[in-house]
Amino acid sequence: MVVLAGFWHAGWRAYVIHTGSMTPVLVPGDLVLHRPARQGYAVGDVVTFRIGPDDRVTHRVTHVGDLGIRTKGDANRTADAWEIPARHVDGVVARHAPHLGYLVFLLQQPAGVGGVMTCGVSLLLLWGLFFPSAPAGPASAGPVVGRSAGRRTGADAALA
């Protein structure tokens, strides 16, 4: 948790890919982790930028100009019509985790949190059922004692 807080404090962010504009590199459901740009942007960088208060786009840089950058989705036929000022860019994609975004999306839903918690508790209960823990006491060196220990059976009585 401390490591995650450190990354967050350093400006690293994670976002879920929602569209196929960056296919095949990034597909819907992928989780992208991006870092702040240290020395500006270069052609070929994959960046995440804001196009509204809550809307973000992840595309590849095709041109770096004095006023900002131009981008294009790898799967798109044409470049984006706008030039993005550097202040609207959240960062450069450093890593991505395929399909992990689906889990993030699930955990953002109230029913998803309950479902994941229910599955976790169920797995713990099943683990305890099929793999019970060993007794805490010292192991005995004597013979294994069954239900009929201390009682004589008919065969034992006949032999005695």
Nearest CA-CA partner of 80 in 21, 15, 25: 21
Give the chain's domains with CATH numbers. Answer: 2-104 (2.10.109.10)
Query: Which two structure tokens, joined as six digits, stand for 79?
Result: 């470049």
Provide the residue-wise pLDDT of the chain in tens; the chain has 160 residues.
Answer: 676 677 766 778 889 999 999 999 999 999 999 998 877 899 999 999 998 888 899 999 999 998 899 999 999 999 999 999 988 998 999 999 999 999 888 888 888 888 889 999 999 999 989 988 877 666 555 565 666 555 555 555 555 5
CA separation for the pair 143, 7 (Å, rounded): 58
Amino acid at 80: D
